[in-house]
Amino acid sequence: MNKKVQLQDLGNKDYKETWDYQEQLFKQIVDAKIQNRNANSQLPTPNFFLFVEHPHVYTLGKSGDMSNLLLSEKQLEAKGATFYKINRGGDITYHGPGQIVGYPILDLENFFTDIHKYLRLLEEAIILTLAEYNIIGARSEGETGVWLGVGTPFARKICAMGVRASRWVTMHGFALNVNADLGYFDNIIPCGIKGKAVTSMHVELGKHVDENEVKEKILRHFQDLFEAVIFTS
């Protein structure tokens, strides 16, 4: 089992270009697994972890409802935003500047074959990271992602998650609001959940947050939880 994970920080990159790149890496892993099976071999399969920040974009998961996007095509253009229907789970969400997006593209057979556990560990990595800033993150039953104020009238989402998995290979991932402009969430019903707010680390702490520092903390917790070894090429 190969627990090495190659880290790539893509900086600010167009959503569609990043999605295409994810698909390339995903296919690379799947093809290696098929080759192993056909040749009855056990050559190691690679794992990747992408960090990226996207220009303003709305994405709708395969089970999502178009009515949760509250903008017309012209209004999207006016806001400088794009829209894509994509192949992850979940409903609609927003990505933009000031948000840390993480895409682990892993062969889970290198770690464990349990999608539920995979999602819970991703959530845990974010919860542990937030705790370092004295922000108490939690899970909300039946709602993937990380929330604040669960069980109160002030429940608010700080990190959205949506993944795709096939042949135990993952893609897509999480989006943590660090310094994001939350006004863009007013144009959707986030994750298709009505009546719940969205927040960011910046709003909760009342100050700008160092995004590189947050990334380092996320990676450290991810590495511990997955018993992985992060490396850069």
For the chain, how many structural domains are there in total? 1
pLDDT at 91: 81
pTM score: 0.94
What residues have CB less than 8 Å from 94, skipping those under 6 apart? 56, 57, 58, 184, 185, 187, 188, 190
How far is 90 from 143, CA to CA, in rounded Å?
10
Q: Residue 9 is part of a domain; what is its CATH number?
A: 3.30.930.10
* Per-residue pLDDT at 191 exceeds 60: no
133 is in an annotated binding site: no
Beta bridge partner(s), residue 12: 53
* Tens-digit pLDDT profile for residues 130-156: 999 999 999 998 888 999 999 998 999
Whether 191 is catalytic is: yes
* Per-residue pLDDT at 98 exceeds 80: yes
Confidence of residue 229 (pLDDT cuts 50, 70, 90): very high
pLDDT at 195: 61
86 is in an annotated binding site: no
User: Running DSSP on this structure, what letter comes out for residue 178?
Assistant: S
161 is in an annotated binding site: yes
pLDDT at 168: 97
- Measured CA distances, 212 to 109, 145, 161, 166, 227 (Å): 30, 21, 20, 31, 22
95 is in an annotated binding site: yes
* Tens-digit pLDDT profile for residues 50-74: 999 999 999 988 878 888 899 888 9
Catalytic residue among 178, 191, 218, 228: 191
Range of the domain at 206: 4-232
Q: What are phi and psi of 189, to 5 degrees?
A: -100, 95
pLDDT at 146: 97
91 is in an annotated binding site: yes
**191/103: higher pLDDT:** 103
* Tens-digit pLDDT profile for residues 6-21: 999 999 999 999 999 9
